[in-house]
Structure 1
Amino acid sequence: MFIENYRKWYSPHLEREFEMLVFGDQGYPLIIFPSTMGRYYEPKDRGLIDAVKWFVEQGLIKIYCVDSIDALSWYNTHVLPASRAYNHACYDNLLYHEVLPFIQSDSGHERIAVAGCSFGGYHASNFAFKYPARVSYLFSMSAVYDIKPRVDDHYDDNVYFNNPIDYMPDNEDPDLWRMGIILGSAANDVARQHTEFMSRVLDFKNISHWLDIRQDASHDWPTWKNMLPHYLSLIK
């Protein structure tokens, strides 16, 4: 059944209200992150939810479209780089300590799937790679995996532990090897090199994944609306 619900609560980790849209009444839980500085309603407005509506209607997937705070964190040039990284760390704590327990209780599943396109792909990948015991599927589309350009020359633990290119070579969590991982990009994608580099990092660690490079496609919503239904069809 295709049901849309709006959720809003005060987040102690962000010290502000947080919003989310939920689609469906049952099925495997999927978090969709918005693209660069996007809001929780972006996947709906851009047609991504319509593209995967069949999975929701069939009760196969339940979708949780979370908000982002990119404008307060990595893209906030009005504060020092250390504050950008700290703000994202607060967002990460919100996801793990507030959003994840809600989804687990709401869906009845302990492990979830995560997806995102463009900078949303970064968020999905970072969450999956940091918490593989809680994530069974990662669908990252046209993502970047190196956050250092967003913090100038600053470097601290909040940067390192939220920068997949840096921490993944040393990440030996055994659950990484049982995650279903798809790194999607396009032949004419500005993020293609980032995706291919992340694939090489996973190859070096013998972590199974699918590097999906779409031909005659670019870094845009039509590409992602073609990718995500295909990826969801692979959930077992």
Structure 2
Amino acid sequence: MKEEHFKWYSPTLSRDIEMLVFGHTGYPVILFPTTMGKHNECRDMGLVESARWFVEQGIVQIYCPDGINELSWYNKNIHPSMRVKNHVVYDEFIMNELVNKICSEKGLQKVAMAGPSFGGYQAANFAFRHPERVSHMYSMSGSFDIKSFMDGYYDDNVFFNNPVDFMPDANHPDLWNMKIVLGVGEWDICLDANKRMAAILTNKNIPFWYDERKWAEHDWPLWNQMFPHYLSKL
């Protein structure tokens, strides 16, 4: 399985960023790490290995960028307004330096997004904010309400990066064309969060697959089973 490491200075983030890319060709899948994870986490925890067949067959190419949650949602040393602003810049980085570049290179209009745990939030939030650029969204044990990180602070940036708030009124037609998967375990700490998002999508008649795995907890063994299954539907 071809693996490439990239490191560059991001003009959007004003800092160095790293990314691993797996595969030689195929449909692009941007795979986000968990809470404080970096570009190597999904490889080191076996998630990329679980998709080896799809990568080696040239069906998908997997892009694993750094997360910057330590600068945004989890940075208790700055005001909540700055936490969400830092996330907005990360959203711009994903769009400008990854999605646009990948689509230009491959002659595509859209990419797939995926992630486990907090990476599931990242995948869903980007996909629901930019449905014109996302064809598939695979959230594995994600959560979709970030108000708990805001210490009571709330503004437009929070609203438009909090899927449970902005999705009820979202009306972009590409939302109804996106292939959406909400994967979660029966004993998952994010079970209620996925049921809540499933209810929002159901109320809007947006097609999606709610995949609740029996006897499964919020952990890598569950996500390593889910990811190749979801890719098999791509």
TM-score of the two chains, using structure 1 as the length reference:
0.97
Quote the Cα distance in structure 2 between the aligned partners of 1:46 and 1:150. 26
Give the 5 Å matches for 1:16-95.
Answer: 16-95=15-94
Per-residue CA shift, 1:186-208, capped at 9, x if unaligned? 00000000001000000000000
Give ranges in structure 1 of 5+ residues lacking alignment.
none
Quote the Cα distance in structure 1 between the aligned partners of 2:227 and 2:233. 10
Quote the Cα distance in structure 1 between the aligned partners of 2:104 and 2:52. 23
**How far is the alpha carbon of 1:106 from its aligned partner?**
3.5
Question: Which position in structure 2 is the counterpart of 1:152?
Answer: 151
Quote the Cα distance in structure 1 between the aligned partners of 2:37 and 2:174. 30
Quote the Cα distance in structure 1 between the aligned partners of 2:105 and 2:137. 20
Quote the Cα distance in structure 2 between the aligned partners of 1:86 and 1:193. 27
Quote the Cα distance in structure 1 between the aligned partners of 2:106 and 2:151. 40
Question: Which position in structure 2 is the counterpart of 1:103?
Answer: 102
Give ranges in structure 2 of 5+ residues lacking alignment.
none
Which residue identity lines up with residue 3 of structure 1 in the other structure? Answer: K
Are the aligned partners of 1:82 and 1:154 in contact in 2 as well (CA < 8 Å)?
yes
Q: How many residues align?
A: 234
Which residue identity lines up with residue 41 of structure 1 in the other structure? Answer: N
Question: Which position in structure 1 is the counterpart of 2:113?
Answer: 114
TM-score of the two chains, using structure 2 as the length reference:
0.98
Two-structure CA RMSD over aligned residues (Å): 0.8
Quote the Cα distance in structure 1 between the aligned partners of 2:101 and 2:132. 17
Quote the Cα distance in structure 2 between the aligned partners of 1:158 and 1:17. 25
User: SS of 1:116's equivalent?
Assistant: strand
Which residue identity lines up with residue 28 of structure 1 in the other structure? Answer: Y
User: SS of 2:68's equivalent?
Assistant: coil
**How far is the alpha carbon of 1:64 from its aligned partner?**
0.3
Which residue identity lines up with residue 112 of structure 2 in the other structure? Answer: A
- More off after superposition, 9-18 vs 81-90: 9-18
Are the aligned partners of 1:85 and 1:159 in contact in 2 as well (CA < 8 Å)?
yes
Are the aligned partners of 1:26 and 1:107 in contact in 2 as well (CA < 8 Å)?
no
**How far is the alpha carbon of 1:108 from its aligned partner?**
3.3
Which residue identity lines up with residue 185 of structure 2 in the other structure? Answer: A
Per-residue CA shift, 1:29-76, capped at 9, x if unaligned? 000000011001000000111100000000000000011000000001
